[in-house]
A and B are shown apart, each in its own frame.
Chain A
Amino acid sequence: MTDAFAQASLADRAGKAAARFRLTFHHPAWAYGFILPVALAIAWELAVRAGLVQARLMPPPSRVAETLYGLLRSGDLLTHSAATLTRVGSGFVIGAVAGTLAGAFCGASPAARRLLDPMIQALRAIPSIAWVPLFILWLGIFENSKIMLIAVGVFFPVYLGVLGAIASVDRKLVEVGRAFRLSRAGLVFRILLPAALPEWITALRSGLGLGFMFVVAAEFMGASEGLGYLLVDGQQLGKPDQILAAILAFAVLGKTCDAALVLVTTPLLAWQDRVRDRL
């Protein structure tokens, strides 16, 4: 009987340990996202140490981390990140506001759509980078031309998103607005835009992604600071670790900005009747 008792207690303890294990390793869902990158980094590090890869061209994660830490300590990382972030931020705000207004205007007014949309679609077909020489001529080599390029990059996805969202607003809800005798502006601001809100936020997110894409292009075309400058500098001076450090910084910065955008806009979508998974 004591035996059975001891066994039961042992099983109990094992069960508790298993539960503790589950609690520690099962709990934070975001932790899963780290498994692959960390595993890859370790494999890479081992490959370099074992001499399978040339460290000169493929610096191991430890070297990249060292460089990153050095940049952080000297304050360079902050300076370059701030420069990049300011450009993306300014360009994003300009592009998003313009894209939203143009999209809402063309979405709400058939006449405006007939007049403006073909031209905007034609402009969209031009690769944004093609504007660079013109922007430099018009706005100079410094900040304005860079911000303009980013704004153009952000404008199109936001414009398309808002226009598409407004076009797909439920006719029945629009009719409610008509039954309540809303003016054209009232219809836009009280029915069409709120109904388009979820898709608008998605459009903003893809716009932000493009903003980061174009900031690199903008910084390639002559900048003395910014993460894109770090990339060019690393290439010219043969410092792959610096290139990788800048790429890593881009990843962190881009993900953080996107997460911040999601965080800020989530309360706006509390009304939605759908499963919102973790973004």
Chain B
Amino acid sequence: MLVVDALSKLYADGTQALARVSLTIEAGSFVMITGKSGCGKTTLLRLIAGLDQASFGTIAIDGEPISGTHPAVGVVFQEPRLLPWLSIAGNVGFGLTHLPKGERRARVAEALRRVGLAEQAKRWPRELSGGQQQRAAIARALVAEPKILLLDEPFSALDALTRADLQDQLLALWQESKTTLIMITHDVEEALLLADRVVVLRSQPGHVVADLDIALARPRLRSETGFETNRRALLAALDRPSVHLEF
């Protein structure tokens, strides 16, 4: 369980990115954080990842307060950020150097198989498509078996087909591993298709304006009535006109 308590972030220039954000996220859940640009969602994720320091407030995993990066927390960035001088297998095994070689190799092979990149193990990152690179980045984060995986708009740079493909794959990985997923998205559909719960932030300064449970059965379809109801609720929370879309 991840507990974020009264988290605030003030930058040196005086802008307040987050103001007393509190969240309790159950282990094994899939939470989406959404909101307009500049609402502080990336700041929140970076604080949980330990890449930035909070000005006030605490973060605790299973009751243990954390500051800085933590082995139980994995990160997938908006860009794949693979290291270009390592093969795909080398990138996926990057965080496993403390393990003996045989075990490392086995775990890398397993992780690559799970994201469908077993054939690409020996290739350079530049030889892969954007979608494949992002899958390798997900494998790199998951192979360390984090309790919590943070994803910062991981599919936003991909084309629609690849995105749908990766969304399915992420869902399957989540159901298999039961890792807690906390993902940022600006895509309402993506949030409703994947998550158990959607947290909406609003800016100046960043605070939680809505926290919706999405109690829809999976696999989800955009055409379901429940989906549409949730979509209206989410758009209302985002303060957007609820345009009706035909599918």
Chain B residues within 8 Å of A173, by CB? 81, 83
Distance A222 CA – B140 CA, assembled complex (angstroms) = 60
CB contacts under 8 Å to A, within B50-82, are 51, 69, 71, 74-75, 77, 79, 81
Distance A178 CA – B50 CA, assembled complex (angstroms) = 9
Chain B residues within 8 Å of A176, by CB? 77, 81, 83, 94
Contact indicator A179/B75 (Cβ below 8 Å): yes
Contact indicator B51/A194 (Cβ below 8 Å): no
CB contacts under 8 Å to B, within A184-228, are 190-191, 194-195, 197
Contacting B83 at CB < 8 Å: which of A179, A194, A270? A194
Chain B residues within 8 Å of A179, by CB? 49, 51, 69, 74-75
Contact indicator B126/A194 (Cβ below 8 Å): no
A273 contacts chain B at the CB level, 8 A cutoff: yes
Instruction: Please name 28 pairs of A and B residues whose Cβ atoms are closer than 8 Å in the assembled complex, sorted by A.
Output: A172-B77, A172-B81, A173-B81, A173-B83, A175-B51, A175-B77, A175-B81, A176-B81, A176-B94, A178-B51, A178-B69, A179-B51, A179-B69, A179-B74, A180-B94, A180-B95, A180-B144, A181-B69, A190-B94, A191-B83, A194-B83, A195-B85, A270-B124, A271-B85, A271-B124, A271-B126, A273-B124, A273-B126
- Nearest B-chain residue to A273, judged by Cβ: B126
Give the Cβ gap from B134 to chain A, nearest Cβ, in Å: 14
Chain B residues within 8 Å of A271, by CB? 84-86, 124-126
Question: Per-position contact with B for A219-256: 1 when CB-CB < 8 Å, else 0?
Answer: 00000000000000000000000000000000000000
Give the Cβ gap from A172 to chain B, nearest Cβ, in Å: 5
A24 contacts chain B at the CB level, 8 A cutoff: no
Chain A to chain B: the 5 pairs with minimum beta-carbon distance, closest first: A273-B126, A180-B95, A194-B85, A179-B75, A271-B85
Measuring CB to CB, which residues of chain A are less than 8 angstroms from any residue of chain B?
A: 172-173, 175-176, 178-181, 190-191, 194-195, 197, 270-273
Contact indicator B83/A181 (Cβ below 8 Å): no
**Interface residues on chain B, size class:** 10 to 19
CB contacts under 8 Å to A, within B125-144, are 125-126, 144
Distance A250 CA – B125 CA, assembled complex (angstroms) = 41
Chain B residues within 8 Å of A190, by CB? 94
With A194-B86, A195-B85 given, name 13 new contacts (CB 8 A).
A172-B77, A172-B79, A172-B81, A175-B81, A176-B81, A176-B83, A176-B94, A179-B74, A180-B94, A194-B85, A271-B125, A272-B126, A273-B126
Chain A residues within 8 Å of B71, by CB? 181
Give the Cβ gap from A266 to chain B, nearest Cβ, in Å: 14
Give the Cβ gap from B182 to chain A, nearest Cβ, in Å: 14
Chain A residues within 8 Å of B77, by CB? 172, 175-176
Chain A residues within 8 Å of B51, by CB? 175, 178-179
Distance A197 CA – B243 CA, assembled complex (angstroms) = 52
- Nearest B-chain residue to A270, judged by Cβ: B124
Chain B residues within 8 Å of A175, by CB? 51, 77, 81
Chain A residues within 8 Å of B81, by CB? 172-173, 175-176
Chain B residues within 8 Å of A191, by CB? 83
Chain A residues within 8 Å of B126, by CB? 271-273
Question: Per-position contact with A for B93-128: 1 when CB-CB < 8 Å, else 0?
Answer: 011000000000000000000000000000011100
Chain A residues within 8 Å of B84, by CB? 271-273
Question: Per-position contact with A for B22-66: 1 when CB-CB < 8 Å, else 0?
Answer: 000000000000000000000000000101000000000000000
Give the Cβ gap from A83 to chain B, nearest Cβ, in Å: 38
Most chain A C-beta atoms within 10 Å of own C-beta, residue among B71, B83, B124 = B83
Distance A179 CA – B83 CA, assembled complex (angstroms) = 13
Distance A154 CA – B69 CA, assembled complex (angstroms) = 40
Give the Cβ gap from A169 to chain B, nearest Cβ, in Å: 11
Give the Cβ gap from A210 to chain B, nearest Cβ, in Å: 27
Chain A residues within 8 Å of B144, by CB? 180
Contacting B85 at CB < 8 Å: which of A178, A180, A181, A197? A197
